[in-house]
Chains A and B, each alone.
Chain A
Amino acid sequence: MKIEQYRDMIYACGRCEFCRGTEFSDRCPQIFTQRWESSTARGRMAIARAILEGKLDYSKDLRERVFGCFLCGRCREECKKAAKIDIVAITKAMRADFVDRGVGAPEEGGKMTSTMAQKGNIFADSTSEHTKWAQGIKFQKGSGTLFFPGCLASHRFKEKTRILVQVLQAAGYKLDFLGDDQRCCGTPMWVTGDVRAAKQWAQDYVKKLKARGVKEIITPCPSCFRAFDEEYPQLLGLKEPPFKVRHSSQVLEEIVAQKRLPLKTSVPKVVTYHDPCEIGRYRGMYDQGRKVLTAIPGVQLKEMSRIREQAFCCGGGGGLKIMYPDYSQQVSEERLRDALQTTASVLATMCPACELNLTHAAYKTDAPLKVADVAEIVAVSAGLADKAILEPDYISDD
């Protein structure tokens, strides 16, 4: 069993419940939605321990407690103070065990992975649909810097993705794009525990990108960013990532720091910033988005009560949007409440999954607030996009 390698950590749980916090809605989105102790990190360590001791086995009923984790890392952050247990790694290992032992992921998770493997993206888009956002944009094949939008940005956020590329190109970045050859980064595979398939996928992808002369990857998707930068090296046993990988937040920060774009148009908006888990808690990238926002004239950054390490998940993590959409929606609405308390009219973030989930929450609750990518605000200030895109009632053609 894959959890065997984490035996010491599993036994190190002191049952303090720092991971849960003071209230269902305090820290962990899973206990917020599922309520049982078995849906906390503390509970999961008890389950893992019982499995190691042969008192419990992986079962279909148990899947909800393990695949129902948002992998947001809030508990791991808290446990840094207590027992330093890598709960995310253990949860991923448990998911892999489900697959290895033939129980499998929840049906929708399995479907997501097989769709992705067959069609190259999780939405089963045709190639032409998946690259539609790039129509009319000129890329430089062989530039060595690959723009990798990922499934969500390609499928759901065509306009946002186009705007981001316009910003990057206006700032002088010479971008390559895979076009019809673009495939998902493979994240759904390890999220649903299919590690064997993930390894093959990573191997093939690295080969393909190397053949194309890719030296650097820029992506707006934190999952894709971590896929190339963390998961691939881990899966393939590499000490270093095969390419330099940057998230768009890092590039936008560079653009601002090096003044590569004139940000002249004032954007008189109260903006709040949501920290995506996979660049925030996973990688400590809390300042990039904020530095960019505060460099934009007119923007007033107003923080939510829970930010940075303590930020509440958007509900989009861990494959929950596909596997347990109701839980995902509940969490997004809770996070939206944090944003609304700031009175901001723009909820900015830098992750397509967060943007999708928070947008759904805003639509469902008819919230007077626009969910935007930080790049969109940059584009408005740089005169590359119309300010209307930041209005709560604006709906793109996507």
Chain B
Amino acid sequence: MVDVPKVTQLLKQAVDPKRVTDRDFDIVAYSRDLSPARQKMATHIVMPESREEVRGILRVASDNNVPVYIRGGGTSHWDAYLPQEPGILLDMSLMNQILEINDRDLTATIQPNCTWAKLDQELRKKGLTYLCSEAGGPAMTIGGSVMKAGGGPHSTAKFGFHGNQDIITLEMVLPNGDIVETGSAAWPSAGKFKRQCVGPDLAGLFIGAEGILGICTEITLRIRPATDVKERMVAVMKTLDDVIELGHFVNRCVGDEYLQGFYLWVDPNSPETFLVMMDVFGYEREIVDYRKTRILEKIKELGGTLGDRAPADDYYGRILTGLTDIFTAGVWHFFGSGSLRIDDIKFLYRVWREELIEKRGYKKAGFGGQVLPRDWLAFMVTNYREPAEWEEIIRISDEINEIVLNGPVAPYGIGGRDGLRPFLEKRDTGYYRLLKTIKKAVDPKDILQRGIFVRKEDLI
């Protein structure tokens, strides 16, 4: 049990008392995420402003054996920050500054809760941009993306996902309060310009770890000159095999750094219609036109039909500002999702069509995915009504997840007990054993994100 009044008092000594709350109405606002995960209440919400304050909060937590959960923009899809047991929730909102835009080295250094949209606005004023993006809307924070190795509809074969490959250095506060840096930033007299140096890629240790090994307080990432030329295309392919061939083609011939988006969408009401949206960008018209021509030729060769580009404009154009009508049919849930080989998309499609639509009669979930970089990040997504349809969607998605994760699909994001953690913990893999070993070494009291990614009992 958390001694709430005592911890409140201690937290108010660690940070400005105005930025500590234990009031139920404040806490309830943080008790859900974007997923159908059950409501989970923290005991306290704290808004730190600096790495030193984060360290002070961790000290209070450690001394009193209170777990700490870390929330960015609050749009997790898999129970990745909700308190699995009563504890302190850090609202990182105040750590949202852009610290430096270095247009010589092409790097930007930001605090973790800077949103992608905010960074994009500032970069564009200087003729710069970052390359890739999730479709998370305006609340999507860079720290949140990095801690889950974020990927989405904007990515490239060459540069990968923005929440991963584009990261240069990280500053992390470890559970023991130590403040560490990765990459070239780890060398005191160097700077923040290179990820892989000094030794092992320790940034990679934290990326995708969902905050269980440390709290991110600063990120340096790669940026690029803004691109002037953009082309968007929409095609309808006759078969999924054709989509696969097109996917292989763009990854070989035009997808290196020029094809930024390749997004497949199949509507449950028309499961034989394979809509593909593509986003090509570049610095020179001649090159973009050439790439576009190659894609168009391939689509033609495969017997696909070109369509109006308006849906692609709408989709890609709203990645940062918010997709239209996303909740008019109910609340979102992604399930049956993960990373898989380009050829293996047929497996996931079959599960969607046979297991979900035909056997279970659930016809509200669409099927889609992105084929860059060099593999699918695919998913099923539905809108459902809370609370009436909640139990049904949980039951169905658990069953589908079980089938999918027994196939050639690697989960993308783990989260807590209402996320994919139960699927991870029952598989006795070397990966999970190693992760537990690292977690025990770095966080022996299991303070950070207790119950997320790694089950508490597995650390004893």
Binding site for B on A (CB under 8 A): 11-18, 20-24, 26, 35-38, 40, 42-44, 46-47, 50, 55-56, 59, 61-62, 65, 78, 81-84
Would A55 and B325 count as touching, CB distance under 8 A?
A: no
Shortest Cβ distance from B28 into chain A, in angstroms?
5
Interchain CB contact under 8 A, A22 and B117:
yes
Contact of B326 with A38 in the complex, beta carbons under 8 Å: no
Q: Does B93 touch A at the CB level, under 8 Å?
A: yes
29 A-B residue pairs with CB within 8 Å: A12-B385, A13-B327, A15-B75, A16-B75, A16-B139, A17-B73, A17-B137, A18-B137, A18-B139, A22-B117, A22-B118, A22-B121, A23-B118, A24-B96, A37-B30, A37-B91, A42-B74, A46-B31, A47-B25, A50-B28, A55-B28, A56-B24, A59-B25, A61-B25, A78-B322, A82-B322, A82-B326, A82-B328, A83-B328
B138 adjacent to chain A (CB < 8 Å): yes
Most buried by B among A13, A38, A43: A38
How many whole Å from B358's CB to the nearest CB in chain A? Answer: 28
Q: How far is the CA of A36 from the CA of B28 in the complex (A)?
A: 11
Bound Cα distance from A259 to B281, whole angstroms: 51
Would you give the shortest CB distance from A296 to chain B, in whole angstroms?
Answer: 32
Q: Beyond the given A14-B331, A56-B28, could you list 20 further A-B residue pairs with CB under 8 A, ordered by the A residue number?
A: A12-B327, A15-B331, A16-B139, A20-B138, A21-B139, A22-B115, A22-B117, A23-B115, A35-B19, A36-B91, A38-B29, A42-B74, A46-B32, A47-B28, A56-B24, A62-B25, A65-B25, A78-B322, A81-B326, A82-B328
Listed residue (A22, A24, A35, A43) with the most chain B CB atoms within 10 angstroms of its CB: A22
Instruction: Label chain B's interface by main secondary structure.
Output: loop
Q: How far is the CB of A56 from chain B (nearest CB, A)?
A: 6
Q: B29 contacts A36, CB within 8 Å?
A: yes
In the complex formed, the residue of A with least CB distance to B115 is A22
Is A37 a contact partner of B324 (Cβ separation < 8 A)?
A: no
Q: How far is the CA of A56 from the CA of B23 in the complex (A)?
A: 11
Check: B330 CB closer than 8 A to any chain A CB. yes
Contacts of B31 in A (CB 8 A): 46
What is the 8 Å Cβ interface bit string for chain B, positions 91-104, against chain A (1 contact, 0 not)? 10110100000000
Check B310 for interface membership: any CB of A closer than 8 A.
Answer: no
Minimum CB–CB distance from B74 to chain A (whole Å) comes to: 6
Shortest beta-carbon distance from A361 to chain B in Å: 23
* Closest partner residue, chain A, to B28 (CB atom): A50
B216 CB, min distance to chain A CBs, angstroms:
19
Once the chains bind, are A15 and B34 in contact (CB under 8 Å)?
yes
B386: Cβ under 8 A from any A Cβ: yes
Beta-carbon contacts under 8 Å, B1-48 to A:
19, 21, 23-26, 28-34, 45, 47
CB distance from B196 to the nearest CB of A (A): 31
- Cβ–Cβ contact A36 & B26, under 8 A: yes
* Complex alpha-carbon distance, A20 and B75, angstroms: 12
Tell whether, in the assembled complex, residue A26 and residue B138 are in contact, meaning their CB atoms are under 8 Å apart. Answer: yes
Whether the Cβ atoms of A11 and B28 lie closer than 8 Å is: no
Cα separation A61 to B330 with both chains bound (whole Å): 32
A contact residues around B47 at 8 Å (CB): 35-36
Partner of B138, one of A21, A44, A46: A21
B11 to chain A, nearest CB (A): 15
Query: Quick check: is B332 within 8 A (CB to CB) of the other chain?
Result: yes
**Are B96 and A23 neighbours in the complex by a CB distance under 8 Å?**
yes
CA distance A10 to B95 in the complex (A): 30
- Expressed in whole angstroms, the Cα–Cα distance for A47 and B26 within the complex equals 8
Flag if B117 contacts A12 (CB, 8 Å).
no
Given A23-B115, A26-B138, A42–B28 Cβ distance below 8 Å? no
Tell me, yes or no, whether B199 is within 8 Å of chain A by CB: no
Given A21-B138, A37-B30, A56:B324 Cβ within 8 A: no
- A36 and B115 contact, CB distance less than 8 A: no
Top 6 A-B pairs, shortest CB-CB distance = A43-B29, A14-B327, A17-B139, A83-B327, A38-B29, A37-B29
By beta carbon, the residue of chain B nearest A10 is B386
Cβ distance B423 to chain A, nearest Cβ, rounded Å: 23
* A82: B residues at CB distance < 8 A: 322, 325-328
Q: Knowing A46-B28, A61-B23, A65-B25 touch, does A84 contact B75 (C-beta < 8 A)? A: no
B361: interface (CB < 8 Å): no
Q: How far is the CA of A370 from the CA of B327 in the complex (A)?
A: 43
B93 touches A35 (CB 8 A): yes
Q: How far is the CA of A52 from the CA of B447 in the complex (A)?
A: 33
Contact A36 B137 (CB under 8 A): no
Q: Which residues of B sit under 8 angstroms from A26, Cβ to Cβ?
A: 138
Q: What A residues does B93 contact at CB under 8 A?
A: 24, 35
The complex places the Cα of A78 from the Cα of B118 at a distance, in Å, of: 17
Q: A22-B115, A42-B29 are in contact. Are A16 and B387 (CB under 8 A)?
A: no
Once the chains are docked, how many angstroms separate the CA of A50 from the CA of B30? 12
**CB proximity of A90 to chain B, nearest CB, Å:** 14
| Distance in Å: Cβ of B23 to nearest Cβ of chain A | 6
Minimum Cβ distance to chain B for residue A1 (Å): 16
Cβ-defined contact, A17 with B74, below 8 A: yes
Q: Which residue of A lies closest to B118 (CB)?
A: A22
Q: Is the Cβ of B74 less than 8 Å from the Cβ of A37?
A: yes
Contacts of A15 in B (CB 8 A): 32-34, 74-75, 331
Closest to B24 in A: A56
Q: What mask results when residues 33 to 66 of chain B are scored 1 for a CB within 8 Å of chain A, else 0?
A: 1100000000001010000000000000000000
Q: CB-CB contacts of B317-355 with A at 8 A, as 1s and 0s?
A: 000001111111011100000000000000000000000
Q: How far is the CA of A47 from the CA of B331 in the complex (A)?
A: 17
Chain A residues contacting B23 (CB-CB under 8 Å) are 61
Q: Tell me the complex Cα distance, A24–B91, Å.
A: 13
Closest A residue to B332 using CB positions:
A14
Q: Determine whether the beta carbon of A11 is less than 8 Å from that of B385.
A: yes
Judging by beta carbons under 8 Å apart, are A20 and B331 in contact?
no
Q: How far is the CA of A300 from the CA of B32 in the complex (A)?
A: 48
Q: Given the complex of chains A and B, what is the CA–CA distance between A43 and B323 in angstroms?
A: 20
Q: With a CB–CB cut-off of 8 A, which chain A residues contact B322?
A: 16, 18, 78, 81-82
Residues of B within 8 A of A24 (CB): 93, 96
